[in-house]
A and B are shown apart, each in its own frame.
Chain A
């Protein structure tokens, strides 16, 4: 397998796994969102990297240009970035509210508080 030629895929996969691992392994709600952000970023790379041809130009119809890079993935990922920003903003807003309601942003402490509250009833 052509390892060097596929290096963008390796970077993509590394970011994907690292992001998912952070989401699963960390108990801090903000760190989980950071992991989620890294995970989403890997997808941006997955889309954009294959669209680029070395030596390719923007798709301009003219005699002197022969190879074109595909601009469509850029447009798609622009949308995906907007979605990612909105998700992160909403996630952080919910974390702020959680911190106001529970006084903590550590998942196990929050669950512990819920459990002891249920035990009181």
Chain B
């Protein structure tokens, strides 16, 4: 008899994966919602337990079906993915209770149980991508999460959601296929798909050309999935037209998991020596990240829809994360991993609050929110606080990770980059200010006929996220402590 604690890595994925077909069998919206909420809370408990165990006793290896790796599929939890697991399941646990009221306004009754089915599948896919130690298994989970994401985006009320879902489907499939081409080339060279085994055997490969091709394919493929500039064109439309709850969930988790995959492949599989010392990938990544930050922040300033505005800002924030990773030193990577969490919280909070605005005002156009501070004071205040975290004001979560980016840039000897990081925060200030000006300094327009605060079931989850943005700016032991351990693991190579 094996203790149940040993099976936590498998349960992490199996729980939401099994919940999904159950919802389809029962076909009740309320049941599906309760189950989705229970399952996401369950995954959060498991993720926290795994993270605690990794901190105490080091990496956990779990052989699925007791087939020993590298032949069987291995689930492997270390300081890096334990951290990402906590982020994904935490966001799911906050979004699932929120989704009910939000979805009730956006979807017909007979489709609601399907929404939660797709949500659970998406959660299972994202958790699976994070926890698996097998490069091909990762592709399968990537496709599980992607396919359910396409469906969720297509559920948006606006007909443009359909086109956004279609475009994301085409680009997402190209991205996943590029990834699998890269993995195929690595398999041809090493004969293994296990990530740890791949890392060890790649050291012995002397014919580098296929390995470089694999690196190129994987970079472009995963770059598409994480919306790395200039491969981000699917993201603004997908975020703008998806149902509110899904925008929040995706913005906080999907791109973050893809960034984790890129970090894992660069640092663990290909290793720093190949990617950053023999190839100029650091310079390429820094150039793209800087372009992403400057260009998409500026584009965000001129958007007329708040959801689109924050969607462009997401591309810019992803730029900060890849920038931190490309510095390849401890503060930079710590900042990158911490920003996964901090930006996840911040954007999650913003999109959850925008969901409330969309529910009450019927849309998120910037003209609609005139005088919002009077009609929806809590929502407005929440957006301002989360906006401060987005800018990176001290005592918010966003400040902590930017601080590490600046430290990383200085340690790397790029003082100009440190200046740039601070300067671009001012662009974020510009677009957050547009909301403040509209909501606080304007009279309510005639269009705001139904001025009420969002329902409590939506406000409370959103404010939990907002509180997180402030709390983790003051007490940094989890986000930064965890991120520092993760950075050490990544820089330590395969082990």
**A contact residues vs B (CB 8 Å cutoff):** 16, 20, 23, 29, 32-33, 36, 39-40, 43, 46-47, 50, 73, 76, 79-80, 83, 86-87, 90-91, 94-95, 97-98, 101-102, 110-111, 114
Contact A40 B177 (CB under 8 A): yes
Contact B166 A94 (CB under 8 A): yes
| A46 partner residues in chain B, CB cutoff 8 A | 181, 184
Give the residue of A40, A90, A101 whose beta carbon is less than 8 angstroms from that of B159.
A101
**A90-B147 contact, Cβ under 8 Å, with A83-B140, A98-B162:** yes
Cα distance, A86 to B147, chains bound together (Å): 8
Contact A114 B169 (CB under 8 A): no
Give the residue of A47, A79, A97, A111 whose beta carbon is less than 8 angstroms from that of B140.
A79
| B136 partner residues in chain A, CB cutoff 8 A | 76, 79
B160 at the interface (CB under 8 A from A): yes
| A98 partner residues in chain B, CB cutoff 8 A | 159, 162-163, 166
Contact A90 B151 (CB under 8 A): yes
Between A and B, 15 residue pairs with Cβ closer than 8 Å are: A23-B174, A29-B166, A36-B173, A40-B177, A43-B181, A43-B184, A79-B136, A80-B180, A86-B147, A87-B169, A90-B151, A91-B170, A98-B159, A98-B166, A114-B160
| B165 partner residues in chain A, CB cutoff 8 A | 94
Q: Separation in Å of the A36 CB from the closest CB of chain B?
A: 6
B178-198 vs A: 1/0 string, CB under 8 Å?
A: 001100100110000100000
**A94-B170 contact, Cβ under 8 Å, with A83-B143, A87-B143:** no
Contact B150 A94 (CB under 8 A): yes
B246 at the interface (CB under 8 A from A): no
In the complex formed, the residue of B with least CB distance to A75 is B136
Q: A23-B170, A43-B181 are in contact. List 18 more A-B contacts (CB 8 A).
A: A29-B166, A36-B174, A39-B174, A76-B136, A76-B193, A90-B169, A91-B169, A91-B170, A91-B173, A94-B154, A94-B162, A94-B166, A95-B166, A98-B162, A98-B163, A101-B159, A110-B163, A114-B163
| A90 partner residues in chain B, CB cutoff 8 A | 147, 150-151, 169
In the complex formed, the residue of A with least CB distance to B137 is A79
Cα distance, A113 to B162, chains bound together (Å): 14
**A50-B188 contact, Cβ under 8 Å, with A87-B147, A87-B173, A102-B159:** yes
B interface majority secondary structure: helix
Instruction: Report, nearest first, the 10 A-B pairs whose CB atoms are least far apart.
Output: A101-B159, A83-B143, A98-B162, A94-B166, A46-B184, A97-B162, A47-B184, A87-B173, A91-B169, A40-B177
Cα distance, A23 to B336, chains bound together (Å): 34
Q: Separation in Å of the A75 CB from the closest CB of chain B?
A: 10
In the complex formed, the residue of B with least CB distance to A98 is B162
| A91 partner residues in chain B, CB cutoff 8 A | 166, 169-170, 173
In the complex formed, the residue of B with least CB distance to A105 is B166
B118-152 vs A: 1/0 string, CB under 8 Å?
A: 00000000000000000010011001000100110
Q: Separation in Å of the A84 CB from the closest CB of chain B?
A: 9
In the complex formed, the residue of B with least CB distance to A39 is B177
Q: Separation in Å of the B170 CB from the closest CB of chain A?
A: 6
Q: Separation in Å of the A101 CB from the closest CB of chain B?
A: 4
* Interface size in chain B (residues, C-beta < 8 A): 26
| B159 partner residues in chain A, CB cutoff 8 A | 98, 101-102
| A16 partner residues in chain B, CB cutoff 8 A | 181
Q: Separation in Å of the B214 CB from the closest CB of chain A?
A: 11
| A32 partner residues in chain B, CB cutoff 8 A | 170
| B147 partner residues in chain A, CB cutoff 8 A | 86-87, 90
Contact A97 B174 (CB under 8 A): no
Contact A43 B163 (CB under 8 A): no
Cα distance, A95 to B150, chains bound together (Å): 12
| A79 partner residues in chain B, CB cutoff 8 A | 136, 140
Q: Separation in Å of the A39 CB from the closest CB of chain B?
A: 6
Cα distance, A101 to B163, chains bound together (Å): 10
| A114 partner residues in chain B, CB cutoff 8 A | 160, 163
| A33 partner residues in chain B, CB cutoff 8 A | 170
| B154 partner residues in chain A, CB cutoff 8 A | 94, 97
Cα distance, A39 to B163, chains bound together (Å): 21
Q: Separation in Å of the B181 CB from the closest CB of chain A?
A: 6
Contact B162 A20 (CB under 8 A): no
In the complex formed, the residue of A with least CB distance to B172 is A87
Q: Separation in Å of the B187 CB from the closest CB of chain A?
A: 8
Cα distance, A33 to B139, chains bound together (Å): 20
In the complex formed, the residue of B with least CB distance to A16 is B181
In the complex formed, the residue of B with least CB distance to A48 is B184
In the complex formed, the residue of B with least CB distance to A89 is B147
Cα distance, A102 to B170, chains bound together (Å): 19
Cα distance, A38 to B140, chains bound together (Å): 19
**From A32, A83, A101, A114, residue with most partner B Cβ within 10 Å:** A83
Q: Separation in Å of the A42 CB from the closest CB of chain B?
A: 8
Q: Separation in Å of the B366 CB from the closest CB of chain A?
A: 13
Q: Separation in Å of the A29 CB from the closest CB of chain B?
A: 7
Cα distance, A70 to B169, chains bound together (Å): 32
Q: Separation in Å of the B180 CB from the closest CB of chain A?
A: 6
Q: Separation in Å of the A76 CB from the closest CB of chain B?
A: 6
Q: Separation in Å of the B302 CB from the closest CB of chain A?
A: 15
Cα distance, A73 to B140, chains bound together (Å): 14
Cα distance, A111 to B151, chains bound together (Å): 21
Cα distance, A52 to B160, chains bound together (Å): 46
Q: Separation in Å of the A111 CB from the closest CB of chain B?
A: 8
| A23 partner residues in chain B, CB cutoff 8 A | 170, 174
| B140 partner residues in chain A, CB cutoff 8 A | 79, 83
Cα distance, A47 to B184, chains bound together (Å): 6
